[in-house]
Amino acid sequence: MNIIIVGCGKVGSTLAEQLDKEGHDITVIDIRPEAVRRVTDSADVMGIEGNGAVHSVLSEAGIQYADVFIAMTDSDELNLLACLIAKKSSTCHTIARVRNPDYVSENHFIKEKLGISMLVNPELEAANAMARLFSIPSAIEVDTFERGRIELLTTRLPSASPFVDCQIKDVLGRFSGKLLICAIERNNEVIIPDGNTFLRANDKISFICNRKESSNFFKKAKIECNSLRSVMIIGGGKISYYLAGKLCDYGFKIKIIEKDKERCEYLDSVFPGNVVVINGDGSDRKLLLEEDLYNTDGFAAITDFDEENVMLSFYINSNFNIKTVTKINKLDIEDMIDKLPIGSVVYPKNITAEMVISYIRALENSAGSNVQTLYNIVGGKAQALEFSVKTASKITDISLCDLNLKNNIIICCIVRNGKTIIPSGQDQLKIGDSVVVVTTNRNLGDLKDILS
């Protein structure tokens, strides 16, 4: 596909590099020459210096031949205007990053009346990810497929678990529910397991099962699974606004600590009585204790500063038994962060990039490829891909145990007629199925690519 990306910030550059690896023809536009040069130096893309909302600049970028136009600048209004001009100049699909909460209620109007294909709100999507983590406190990562019907959960196996040093087939034999372990991260290496793989203490395991059976698994594995009733949020920005609203819907009691008095007054005016807003410094240990930290179940560090978020979560994890979620903006410190005990980490920019890439894969799906959704999991060391089975082939109507799969690939879920199947070796793929595959292999474009 021919894809134009306006805005060479963290999200735009991440998109350009990933989409280039997938074989698309990419052109990036930015008013900052150094930003354009940084992207063109790291990926095989064409770069143009200029305003992405100017028709002549878009014409130079080849807008008339574009399949997808993506506006990812820091300005919502510029992104919307650029998409409108792109839409008037071609028949391309348009995607805009829009962050202002005022536009959320206008989502349907903007898409229908202005013809913009997709709106991405990084703060809202980050809040959704955090809300899932608080709703399943034993998980350190939660990814969803099939419009949320399938959950891929990641947790850490404690040394006291009875499953330590057991083979997976024995673990499943001692667990009455349906569960499939898809990936294991150990010593920075990822293992795509089979039934003979042993589990070890402190392994990060990613698995699929339904919500009720996941609770049973956590209990049997001796992984703490107490439900949460209250969450303290440090920082009163857009993510906090969305997260507090989500958690209120779940029945949580919320406390927000924010330095800016004017922002506190706004938050206090828009939330009901079960959200308490405190004007203060969330890094002040004395204040945290005064606000009943000892009796708080969840803690979200989502200020505008990564360093403050990391230090807050490190302090909480080191001194309290509290479910902790940390927001990180800088993608280039991911490897360092992964080694620190700061609970679950959410990267809004990664979430945004994955949503856009998923949409583009859906467009390819209608054009012949059958990748519907892709998530980078286990710190980006593995991928979970959702495929659709469109036609009969050498992978359909054959027991999974008889398929000659490539190494490091596991079929972990099948959705058939709205029903989720956690497969065994005797299950078969049928036309119309959606299939989730976990692998460390890259560039799988078609479900048939899983065969060796």
Is residue 128 in some structural domain?
no
pLDDT band with cut points at 50, 70 and 90 for residue 425 = confident
Tokens representing residue 441 in the block: 């292999």
- Note whether 232 and 255 are within 8 A (CB): yes
Q: Kindly state whether residues 323 and 384 are assigned to the same domain.
A: no
Q: Kindly state whether residues 321 and 388 are assigned to the same domain.
A: no
Contacts of 243 (CB under 8 A, 6+ apart): 127, 130, 131, 233, 300, 302
Q: What is the pLDDT of residues 109-161, one digit of tens each?
A: 888 888 899 999 999 999 999 999 999 999 988 887 766 677 889 999 999 99
- Tokens 């800088």 belong to which residue? 330
Q: Kindly state whether residues 318 and 371 are assigned to the same domain.
A: no
Find the domain containing 9 and state its range.
Answer: 2-120
Give Cα 110 to chain centroid, integer Å. Answer: 24
Is residue 209 in some structural domain?
no
Q: Kindly state whether residues 312 and 421 are assigned to the same domain.
A: no
Tokens representing residue 439 in the block: 């692998």
Q: Kindly state whether residues 317 and 405 are assigned to the same domain.
A: no
Q: What is the pLDDT of residues 69-110, one digit of tens each?
A: 999 999 999 999 999 999 999 999 999 999 888 887 788 888
Is residue 143 in some structural domain?
no
- CA atoms of 289 and 358, how far apart (whole Å): 42
Give Cα 399 to chain centroid, integer Å. Answer: 32
- CA atoms of 431 and 178, how far apart (whole Å): 23
CATH number at residue 239: 3.40.50.720
Is residue 92 in some structural domain?
yes
Q: Kindly state whether residues 297 and 386 are assigned to the same domain.
A: no
Q: Kindly state whether residues 300 and 369 are assigned to the same domain.
A: no
Of 67, 98, 120, the domain-final residue: 120
Q: Kindly state whether residues 234 and 320 are assigned to the same domain.
A: yes
CATH number at residue 365: 3.30.70.1450
Cβ neighbour number for residue 197 with a 10 Å cutoff: 17
Is residue 154 in some structural domain?
no
The whole-model pTM stands at: 0.85
- Tokens 């990306």 belong to which residue? 5
Is residue 408 in some structural domain?
yes
SS (H, E, C) 417-448: CCEEECCCCCCEECCCCEEEEEECCCCCCCHH
**What letter would DSSP give residue 278?**
E
Q: Kindly state whether residues 319 and 384 are assigned to the same domain.
A: no
- Note whether 278 and 256 are within 8 A (CB): yes
Of 333, 352, 368, the domain-final residue: 333
Is residue 100 in some structural domain?
yes
Rg (CA), the chain: 23
What integer is the mean pLDDT of 402-417?
91
Q: What is the pLDDT of residues 202-243, one digit of tens each?
A: 999 999 887 778 888 898 899 887 789 999 999 999 999 999
Structural domains of the chain, count: 3
Tokens representing residue 312 in the block: 């807050």
SS (H, E, C) 16-81: HHHHHHCCCEEEEEECCHHHHHHHHHHCCCEEEECCCCCHHHHHHCCHHHCCEEEECCCCHHHHHH
Q: What is the pLDDT of residues 38-66, one digit of tens each?
A: 999 999 999 999 999 999 999 999 999 99
Of 120, 137, 157, the domain-final residue: 120
SS3 state at 190: strand
Is residue 116 in some structural domain?
yes
Percent of the chain with pLDDT over 70: 96
pLDDT of residue 331: 61
Q: Kindly state whether residues 395 and 313 are assigned to the same domain.
A: no
pLDDT of residue 273: 76
The mean pLDDT of the chain is 89
Q: Kindly state whether residues 70 and 6 are assigned to the same domain.
A: yes
Tokens representing residue 436 in the block: 């989730």
Q: Kindly state whether residues 296 and 378 are assigned to the same domain.
A: no
